[in-house]
A and B are shown apart, each in its own frame.
Chain A
Amino acid sequence: MTTLRPFTCDDLFKFNNITCRQHEAVLYGIPFYLQYLAHWPEYFIVAEAPGGELMGYIMGKAEGSVAREEWHGHVTALSVAPEFRRLGLAAKLMEMLEEISERKGGFFVDLFVRVSNQVAVNMYKRLGYSVYRTVIEYYSASNGEPDEDAYDMRKALSRDTEKKSIIPLPHPVRPEDIE
């Protein structure tokens, strides 16, 4: 039981239960959120519990060249508060982002995830995503942890009938080589 609705600026003030209670969730600066709200408001969806608590949110965008068949939906952030996990909420939010990307005529949806984050990698695999390539040292070091690689995971949309977009690259790439 969840209300899914567009994210609004006022939600920023209720954000503590998603971000503060959960260390791994990155809290971006206000400009970052505003940029997404200004450019891709439809891709920014929040889930709310009946008591008004924010349960989680997804934030994404559409980008890439149509001519090169690289037009796609991208998941920038997906976060669910610990007390609202194991309800299938992340899957629901992903499904919505995919649906929006379908409507925009995207070829695929992609996302980046830390290679160490096995829980997330497995979840995305269950949702039909596969590793397209590894991006070396995509996550820069923080808190004494070293740089970390990312998996670029993809799922083809119906427009990519032959699923060309998800054929894995044989070699890892560097962050500067990705668009």
Chain B
Amino acid sequence: MAARGHVQDPNDRRLRPIYDYLDNGNNKMAIQQADKLLKKHKDLHCAKVLKAIGLQRTGKQDEAFTLAQEVATLEPTDDNSLQALTILYREMHRPELVAKLYEAAVKKVPLSEEYHSHLFMAYARVGEYKKMQQAGMALYKIVPKNPYYFWSVMSLVMQAISAQDEKLAQTMFLPLAERMVEKMVKEEKIEAEAEVQLYFMILERLGKCVEALDVIRGPLGEKLTSELQSRENKCMMLYQRLQRWPECNALAHKLLLKNPDDWQFYPSYFDSLFHLIDQSWSPPEEGEHCPEGAVHHTVAEVVRFVEERIKGEDGKESRSLRGPYLARLELIHRLRERGCPEESMLGDPLELMVQFFGKFGDKPCCITDLKIYLHLLSPDQHVQFVNRLSEAVPLGERGEEGFAFPDDTKALQRHLCVCQLSRALGLHHALDVDGKLRLIVELKAHYRHGLKFGKNALKTELQFSDMYCLMAAHVYIDLWKETGDENMVWQGLGVLQEGLSHSASNAQFKLLLLLLYCHLGAFEPVVDLYSSLDAKHVQHDTIGFLLTRYAESLGQFAAASQSCNFSLRFFHSNQKDTSEYIIQAYKYGAFEKIPEFIALRNRLNQSLHFAQVRTERMLLDLFLEADIVLSLEESVKAMSLSAEEDDIPWDNMRDNRDLTVFTSWDPKDRELTAEHRRQSLEEESVWLRIRSLTLRLLASLAGSGHAPSQQNSEIANENGVGDKSSILSGLLSQLNQTLQTANQIAEKRIQYPFLGPPSTRLAPALSSGSCQCQAAALQLSVHLQELETVGLDESTELQTQICNAFKSLVVQLQEILNKCKGDLLDMKEGKLKTWPSLLENLIFFVETVCIVLWMASHCAKILRPLKTSLQKKKKKKKKDANTAQPVVVCGFQELTGSLQDLLTQALEYIKGQETGITALKLASLSLDEYPQDEASFMKAAMDKVQSSYLRSLQEAGDLLKKRAETIKNLKI
């Protein structure tokens, strides 16, 4: 754990057993051993700290902290104590205390390089850039080593980056950093590559491109050797910023001569040409064109250059590179964009693409390469193009079914590529239903035939023909969406399940299966599929949305909690991880990585998905537990949830979802657009806002439950309750506004591509009425607050108002419940059909009834003392008190009665559905029309859906049963 000093100190020997116990996770023994040692050696501070570590690790945070502070106030200067305290503070997530510790240590031992360097790192951990700058200089004064000096310079750059005021960065921090480096340059003290790199960073941020160019091209630039082509890349970037097109052009083609496959320089090369043309640039009459050499300033020269590169590849014995061939297509694309007639000099795009296919059609990336240039073909060329390609695919003899198959994997890849291109050209979509069905038959035949090439494949390898199978599933989905015939999706699931049985690690199969099951309302199979994807780390952020969108809404609460937890664990570890590596980047002089690491940390902290799982996790905990295990108040307190606090970075939300994770060969007009992305993010944000406001309103409900007793209510009115009611009304008006926005979004009925982002729960939440009902329930708390102040005596009007609200809640809940009535799964004419929207509505009912019950319980808490005091008053006045109850009390009793009825109804419905679904005899489905193995894969998929529906019903039922039990606590 801790490095033990080099000099053999008797204390080291005494402490060793404690270290060992801690290392082995035996915290109890460590504590005991420390106590023993402390009896003999009272002043062995380190033993105290080690004991504190043991206490911290056994959950005794407070004791640990007190003990640690005992040692810290002594301002220790021995290595052992300092290191142990550093470890302890880190585990306590109090890195700022480490800085304090070393601040004290360097005061006592001002010349210690080690302590000063620890101090610098401690500041780095908490991002105290100004103090880092000073600590770096202090270090340099003690030990004049270059890295220390440049730590200080980098800390100035960080002050510039983090400055709110860009002017301050540009006029103070960066110029100061620049001067500090210049001083070292003048004194010829620059030693390391990292120092030049940092100099470059500063100049670049200052926009001093000319100066930066001088550095890179000068003697200092010679130090930039680690990264390949570092100087060239930096020059290119600077030429572009400086708009020095001749240099840009000359350097680009020089680099392309060296590596004609390096794509990044083709765009620079072409761009610079067009800029030169626009500026009517012409070369000087004598001498070099520019410092980088010859410039190609006419289209003819550039065309010739590209053609020469292609000739070079054609004549090669070894593998041809794709770059030059694609560069030709890129150039045509760009010339066409500019309306240049010279486009024709390069040839006919159709012929060129056919030629490309001839050369590279057997590579799996051929589709990716050609897809971006398909727009160069006119629509009437599409069929001709595909026919031309098909001619170039060597297939064997036609078999019985009328299909000809490839003889080897190269031919298979070519054939597959033609299918992919046909789809990308929209030819699949243009087919009618029968045409699509025939296409599927062909794709499946090719898929199954191609399996023979992968008979000996390892379990972890993909099959050569997997993509046919995936495409067949895509066409099934097209048919499903087009005709609404659910049999299509069952067949799609069947073919994917079949594919997975031959290619167990195909992630695309799993992802699409997962999506289809979710669309059918079945989350249970998704759990295993997702876990077999083995998503790790950042993938929880990029693809975690697939789980969190559906788990809860389909009533699989346990799985929903778990998937939130996976994501949360990742996000929470990120903070600690990144600061560790920021420190390492200082140590190794990877200065350019430091702002990058910080940007990564921010990107994760501001992630939309992070905010969603944080919010949903807490809501789930409340739905599942509050008032069942603990009271709402206790649950809210345990979560340290507060109504006042909004920790969601609304203005800087980062959408880190990977919305292209699904492989798709859809034509451009069906692809995900930037507008889709924008709309999806907007929709997600609005839905998140509704959920987060609901959560905060629940917190405020629980907060006002701690109502002060009657005696000091006046004081509370002055400071406490007044504040709370303004927070409450603020939140409620925000919720209402958000619901308005939500309605506008829902009205747009935005449809995303099937493989794009899923729609949120927003639209169904509004159409089920659950949003409105939840808002109405939360709104009631305002009136209840009022009632609490005025009492029962003189509030008839208010009471009537409240009673009407109660009645309205019951009506609304009944309406939601009515919207889930109907069979979730039914079998008609031998066909199975799912009704996932009914299930979704049932879950909306469950969530909403939870919220109404919390409101009711809050209400009971307010009414009870009011009723008691009213009875006391009445007793005093008359002995034979009027037995009539106050209006609101009657209304409340009515409410609880109705809630009881509603829950009974819902439970009966669930029970009925459970019986019905269990009784469904899937075996009696007429799957005879399908070949036997296909039928069995379809059947397996149906079984999974059936089982999943049962599980969702069970979880919803269990939750409602527990809720029903809490109704009896509502008596007043």
A50 touches B (CB below 8 Å): yes
| Residues B263 and A12 in contact, CB atoms below 8 Å apart | no
Contact A21 B508 (CB under 8 A): yes
Residues of A within 8 A of B538 (CB): 12-13, 15, 30
- What 0/1 readout, one digit per residue, does chain A (22-66) give for beta carbons within 8 Å of chain B? 111001111100110111011001001111010100000000000
- Nearest Cβ on chain A to B916's Cβ, whole angstroms: 38
| Residues 364-389 of B contacting A (Cβ, < 8 Å) | 364-365, 367-369, 371-372
CB B745 to nearest CB in A, in angstroms, measures 26
Q: Taking A2-B262, A38-B584 as contacts, is the C-beta distance between A49 and B368 under 8 angstroms? A: yes
Residues of B near A14 (CB, < 8 A) are 658
CA A17 to CA B228, docked complex, whole Å: 25
Whether, in the assembled complex, A146 has its beta carbon less than 8 Å from a beta carbon of chain B, the answer is no
Q: Do the beta carbons of B581 and A53 come within 8 Å of each other?
A: no
Query: Which of the 9-residue segments B173-181, B242-250, B589-597, B715-723 touches chain A?
Result: B589-597
Q: Is A4 an interface residue (CB 8 A)?
A: yes
Which residues of A sit under 8 angstroms from B368, Cβ to Cβ? 49, 51, 53, 83-84
Inter-chain contact B322/A38, CB cutoff 8 Å: no
Which B residues are in CB contact (< 8 Å) with A100? 226-228
Question: Within 8 Å of chain A (Cβ to Cβ): is B264?
Answer: yes
Residue B828 is within 8 A (CB to CB) of chain A in the complex: no
A99 within 8 A of B: yes
Contact B227 A41 (CB under 8 A): yes
11 contacts between A and B (CB under 8 A): A2-B262, A13-B603, A14-B658, A20-B533, A39-B588, A39-B590, A42-B227, A50-B263, A82-B462, A84-B368, A100-B226
Q: Within the assembled complex, what's the spacing in Å between the Cα atoms of A3 and B261?
A: 8
Query: What residues of B have a CB within 8 angstroms of the CB of A168 in the complex?
Result: none
Contact residues, A1-20 vs B (CB, 8 A)? 1-6, 8-10, 12-17, 19-20
A30 and B507 contact, Cβ closer than 8 Å, known pairs A37-B581, A38-B585, A87-B322: no
Q: Is the CB of B364 within 8 A of A84?
A: yes
Given A13-B538, A30-B577: A3 and B584 interface contact (C-beta under 8 Å):
no
Instruction: Contacts A2-B263, A16-B661 known; list 5 others, CB within 8 Å.
Output: A24-B460, A30-B537, A31-B581, A37-B590, A49-B365
CA of A84 to CA of B800 in the docked complex: distance in angstroms? Answer: 71
Known: A21-B508, A38-B585, A86-B363. A27 touches B590 (CB 8 A): no
Is A78 among interface residues, defined by CB-CB distance under 8 A?
no
- Minimum distance in angstroms from A109 CB to a CB of chain B: 15
Once the chains bind, are A103 and B226 in contact (CB under 8 Å)?
A: yes
Q: Which of A3, A28, A42 contacts B263 (CB 8 A)?
A: A3
Q: A99–B577 Cα gap in the complex (Å)?
A: 31
Distance to closest chain B CB from A41 (angstroms) = 5
The 4 closest A-B pairs by CB, nearest first: A23-B505, A34-B581, A1-B323, A42-B226
**Closest partner residue, chain A, to B360 (CB atom):** A87
Complex interface: stretch among B539-547, B785-793, B922-930: B539-547
Q: Which residues of A contact B508 (CB under 8 A)?
A: 21
Q: Which residues of A contact B111 (CB under 8 A)?
A: none
A87 vs B582: C-alpha distance when bound (angstroms): 36
A3 to B600, CA, bound (A): 23
Q: Is B483 an interface residue (CB 8 A)?
A: no
Q: Which of B228, B327, B365, B536 contacts A96 (CB 8 A)?
A: B228
Whether A35 contacts B539 by the Cβ 8 Å rule is no
Name B454-509 residues within 8 Å CB distance of A: 460-462, 505, 507-508
Tell me whether B101 is interfacial, beta carbon within 8 Å: no
A104 located at the interface, meaning its Cβ lies under 8 Å from any Cβ of chain B in the complex: yes
Q: Which residue of A lies closest to B588 (CB)?
A: A39
Please give the distance in Å from A102's CB to the nearest CB on chain B: 11
* Residue pair A23, B507 in contact (C-beta under 8 Å): yes
Which one of A27, A51, A85 contacts B539 once the chains associate, using CB atoms below 8 Å? Answer: A27
Cβ–Cβ < 8 Å partners of B581 in chain A: 31, 34-35, 37-38
Candidates B322, B536, B596, B599; contact of A29 at CB < 8 Å: B536
Number of contact residues on B: which range applies?
Answer: 35 or more
Q: Does A88 contact B (CB under 8 A)?
A: yes
Residues of B394-427 contacting chain A, CB below 8 A: none
Total count of chain A residues near the partner, CB < 8 A: 52
Residue B619, interface by CB 8 Å? no
Instruction: Answer yes or no: B622 CB below 8 A from chain A CBs.
Output: no
Q: Which of A10, A19, A30 contacts B574 (CB 8 A)?
A: A30
**Cβ contacts under 8 Å, B371 to chain A:** 51
Once the chains are docked, how many angstroms separate the CA of A29 from the CA of B553? Answer: 30
Q: How long is the Cα–Cα vector from A16 to B369 in the complex, in angstroms?
A: 19
On chain B, the residues within 8 Å of A82 by CB distance are 364, 462
- CB-based contact A1/B539 at 8 Å: no
Determine whether the beta carbon of B590 is less than 8 Å from that of A38.
yes
Contacting A103 at CB < 8 Å: which of B225, B462, B596?
Answer: B225
Contact residues in A for B593 (Cβ distance below 8 Å): 37-38, 41
* Cβ-defined contact, A1 with B326, below 8 A: yes
User: Which residues of the partner chain B approach A23 to less than 8 Å between Cβ atoms?
Assistant: 460, 505, 507, 534
Contacting residues, chain A, for B574 (C-beta < 8 A): 30
Given A1-B261, A96-B228, answer yes or no on A31-B364 (Cβ-Cβ < 8 Å). Answer: no
Q: State in angstroms the CA–CA spacing of A3 and B259 once bound together.
A: 11
Q: Which B-chain residue is minimally distant from A97 (CB atoms)? A: B228
By CB atoms of chain B within 10 A, which of A2, A9, A12 has the most?
Answer: A9
A39-B539 contact, Cβ under 8 Å, with A82-B364, A84-B365: no
Min C-beta distance of A81 to chain B, whole Å: 9
Question: B738 to chain A: which residues have CB within 8 Å?
Answer: none
Min distance, Cβ A139 to any Cβ of chain B, angstroms: 13
B543 touches A20 (CB 8 A): yes
Task: Say yes or no: B584 contacts A87, CB within 8 Å.
Answer: no
A1 B577 Cβ-Cβ under 8 A: no
Q: Which residues of B contact A20 (CB under 8 A)?
A: 507, 511, 533, 535, 539, 543, 661
A37 to B585, CA, bound (A): 8
Asked, given contacts A16-B542, A38-B593, whether A9 binds B505 with beta carbons under 8 Å apart, the answer is no
Q: In the assembled complex, which residues on chain B have CB atoms less than 8 Å from the CB atom of A99?
A: 228
Task: Check B319 for interface membership: any CB of A closer than 8 A.
Answer: yes
Partner of A21 from B264, B507, B534, B599 at Cβ < 8 Å: B507
Measured CB to CB, the nearest residue on chain A to B466 is: A82
| Chain A residues within an 8 Å CB radius of B587 | 38
Inter-subunit contact B658/A35 (CB<8 Å): no
B157 in the interface (beta carbon within 8 A): no
Contact assessment for A9 and B264 in the assembled complex, using a CB-CB cutoff below 8 Å: no
B323 touches A2 (CB 8 A): yes
Residue of B nearest to A32 (CB): B537
Given contacts A12-B538, A30-B577, A38-B588, are A1 and B460 in contact (CB under 8 A)? no
> Which residue of A1, A19, A37, A104 is within 8 Å of B322 (Cβ)?
A1
B656 lies within 8 A of chain A by Cβ: yes
Which of A3, A20, A22, A100 has the largest count of B CB atoms less than 10 A from its CB?
Answer: A20
Nearest residue, chain B, Cβ from A20: B507
Chain B residues within an 8 Å CB radius of A38: 581-582, 584-585, 587-588, 590, 593, 597
Cβ distance B629 to chain A, nearest Cβ, rounded Å: 34
Find A13's partner among B227, B462, B656 (CB 8 Å cutoff): B656
Which residues on B sit within 8 Å (CB–CB) of A96? Answer: 228
Whether the pair B226, A1 counts as a contact (CB closer than 8 A) is no
Q: How far is the CA of A114 from the CA of B596 in the complex (A)?
A: 34
B580 within 8 A of A: yes
**Chain B: which residue is nearest A52 at the CB level?**
B660
Say if the beta carbon of B321 comes within 8 Å of chain A. yes
A51→B660 CA distance, assembly (Å): 12
Determine if B596 and A8 form an interchain contact, defined as CB atoms under 8 angstroms apart: yes
Q: Which residues of A contact B462 (CB under 8 A)?
A: 82
Nearest Cβ on chain B to A46's Cβ, whole angstroms = 12
Chain B residues within 8 Å of A1, by CB: 261, 263, 321-323, 326-327, 369
Q: Which residues of A contact B225 (CB under 8 A)?
A: 103
In the assembled complex, which residues on chain B have CB atoms less than 8 Å from the CB atom of A10? 599-600, 603
Distance of A27 Cα from B263 Cα, bound (Å): 27
Nearest B residue (CB) for A62: B226
Residues of B within 8 A of A17 (CB): 661
Contacts of B364 in A (CB 8 A): 82-86
B579 to chain A, nearest CB (A): 10
